[in-house]
Structure 1
């Protein structure tokens, strides 16, 4: 009797696992997809969209926030990325997707404070209606989507982590994002197109 009970349960579990895996894998953008533009409020009160960057060759879109320790560990590197690549046509655009009712430290007012404290040189915008991060398929903060501006739209070329060591920038061995940007700038194939985003779950 025990075997008869366990087999159906195991079968149901396998079905559930398959459905869950499919759902996760089928949500959001994949490499080669054309990403949607957006119009989101920046910390300076102005609305920001990808189309505003008329001279851009692409975009470093990072789903970010104020409160996640992983993001805090990466903030200086995000600033360095923008300072390094903005003038080369790849600006950083940070998007806060968190619900401030669940994470008060991620409110728009707190975003303005954090941007001022860190002197962010890049746009830091608020996905207030939580409509953009599901379209992209972001699940963590930070979660990177590298886009290349092409004739057919903003094509997703890399998804995942900034690099392989959130704890210590000096110990990084693989700069996944920089490698991807450099490849695009040199008209080469991106060597690694997807990595696992390590960070805090988005608060919905």
Structure 2
């Protein structure tokens, strides 16, 4: 069942975190943030929505890096219930990614961000204030020809000191696989 990200109050501060990356090291938001903007993307290994947008996310992350915008990917899913989302698989698939892939094993970071689905994108300015919460582009599980690169264009504007366009469409994907209480 697909879930859409809810509307979010723009201007809120990014919750800090320190998580283990697929490179085996611990990484913090403040270490990984971009000088002119930061994208925090909640993704996972198995979601067909993530698998569909991943090539475009990799492309956009490479294009944003020279603008001073960094992308950080976080896997919040319960790997015990969904073994495909386990840390070892993260290590395998993220070897050549142009951004860190972090494991939110306790799910506390996803809860702090109010993330609800994979993928779920949060775009922050240089001061780590939320300026964009929405989808990568109009393609959900398929490429939409000539679709605007919504996340890329929003972060490009943020890197240039502008606000993104006010119309932000929610991301849609698989619900985060929360641990049972």
TM-score of the alignment, normalized to the shorter chain, above 0.5: yes
Quote the residue 2:88 is aligned against.
Answer: 109
- 5 Å-filtered alignment, 1:48-197, equals 48-53=27-32, 56-116=35-95, 119-150=96-127, 154-169=128-143, 171-192=145-166, 194-197=168-171
Give CA-to-partner distance per residue, 1:147-202, whole Å, 9 cap, x none: 1122xxx1000002111112343514232212211211232221035321111000
Cα RMSD (Å) of the superposition?
Answer: 1.9
8 Å contact kept, 1:176–1:192: no
Structure-2 separation of matches of 1:55 and 1:200 = 27
Indicate conservation of the 8 Å contact 2:38/2:71, yes or no. Answer: yes
**Greater relative CO (CA pairs within 8 A, separation 6+):** 2
Q: What is the aligned partner in structure 2 of residue 3 from structure 1?
A: none
Following TM superposition, the consecutive aligned residue runs of length 4 or more in structure 1 with deviations greater than 3 angstroms are: 167-170
Unmatched runs of 5 consecutive residues or more in structure 1: 1-23
Query: Considering only CA atoms, is the larger Rg found in Structure 1 or Structure 2?
Result: 1
Considering fraction of residues, name the structure with more helix: 1
Deviation at 1:56, TM superposition (A): 2.2
Output the TM-score relative to the length of structure 2.
0.88
Q: Which of 14, 24, 33 is equivalent to 2:12?
A: 33
Query: Aligned pairs, how many?
Result: 174
1:54 Cα deviation after fit = 6.5
The 3-state SS of whatever aligns with 2:130 is strand
The structure-2 alpha-carbon separation of the partners of 1:55 and 1:99, relative to structure 1 and needing over 3 Å to count, comes to closer
